[in-house]
């Protein structure tokens, strides 16, 4: 983390700015310094985040994720793993017909059909976060409502037909392919932004 301008007085942010001085410190060192001055961990982290949000300090990764695998297992890619787990849970709950798990089947089945295909396509098309969250959400639902009938149309002309397992497997497969492509696109943009290309 690096200081950008002079601090105000009296808050955890001020102490963080003073602690930064004109040099560079890791976030861990900065939070540790604030904790030693009597601030709680939550207050210390909030102060560091506020400094970055207000443009008073900048954060850089010590070692950027140059490889796709490193990027995929990094905290930056939690969106990818959350979507993959949702797809796999939907597939796993396909055979549930009674009990409390039936409600989970409804929830994850709805997410798989109404949200995830469009979400994965939006993530692939817009890797730079050009769209705000509400627009992404609305487009995800709209594109899902366009993609799922196309999957059904294609399946109608195959020997599998339009049945539960082939439709679910096709939608899940399409979603996973789009998610992997979105992860690849986001990694390429990340490499460009970090000057690794």
Tell me: the pLDDT tens digits for 148-177? Answer: 999 999 999 999 999 999 999 999 999 999
Q: Confidence band (pLDDT; 50, 70, 90) for 41?
A: confident
Higher pLDDT among residues 86 and 195, named by residue: 86
Encode pLDDT of 71-119 as tens digits. 898 888 999 999 999 999 999 998 888 888 899 999 999 999 999 999 9
Taking the C-alpha atoms of residue 161 and residue 10, their distance in angstroms, rounded to an integer, is 68
Mean pLDDT of all residues belonging to the chain = 85
For 46-65, write each residue's pLDDT tens digit.
Answer: 877 787 788 777 766 667 77
Q: Is 180 exposed, middle or buried (0-12, 13-18, 19+ CB in 10 A)?
A: middle
Q: Please name the helix (run of DSSP H) or strand (run of DSSP E) that holds residue 2, with its range, or none.
A: strand 2-3
Q: Domain spanning 2-58 has what CATH number?
A: 1.10.10
**What is the domain partition of the chain in residue ranges?**
2-58, 68-193
Plot region of 158 (φ>0 → left; ψ -120 to 50 → alpha; else → beta): beta
Q: Are 123 and 129 in contact (CB under 8 A)?
A: no
For tokens 């969106």, the residue is: 79
Greater pLDDT, 84 or 21:
84
Cα separations (Å) of 138 from 106, 107, 115, 130, 170? 21, 18, 9, 14, 23
């Amino acid at each position: 983390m690096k200081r950008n301008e002079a601090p105000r007085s009296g808050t955890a942010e001020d102490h963080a700015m003073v602690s930064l001085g004109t040099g560079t410190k890791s976030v861990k060192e900065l939070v540790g310094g604030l904790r030693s001055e009597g601030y709680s961990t939550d207050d210390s982290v909030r102060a560091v985040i506020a400094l970055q949000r207000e443009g008073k300090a900048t954060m850089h990764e010590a070692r950027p994720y140059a490889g796709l695998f490193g990027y995929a297992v990094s905290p930056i890619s939690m969106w990818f793993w959350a979507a993959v787990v949702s797809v796999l849970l939907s597939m796993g709950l396909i055979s549930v017909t009674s009990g409390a798990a039936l409600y989970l089947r409804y929830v994850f089945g709805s997410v798989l059909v109404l949200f995830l295909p469009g979400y994965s396509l939006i993530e692939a098309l817009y890797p730079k976060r050009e769209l705000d969250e509400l627009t992404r959400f609305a487009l995800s639902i709209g594109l899902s409502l366009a993609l799922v009938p196309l999957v059904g149309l294609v399946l109608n002309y195959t020997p599998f037909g339009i049945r539960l397992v082939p439709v679910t497997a096709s939608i899940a497969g399409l979603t996973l392919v789009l998610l992997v492509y979105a992860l690849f696109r986001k990694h390429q943009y990340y490499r460009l932004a970090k000057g690794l290309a």
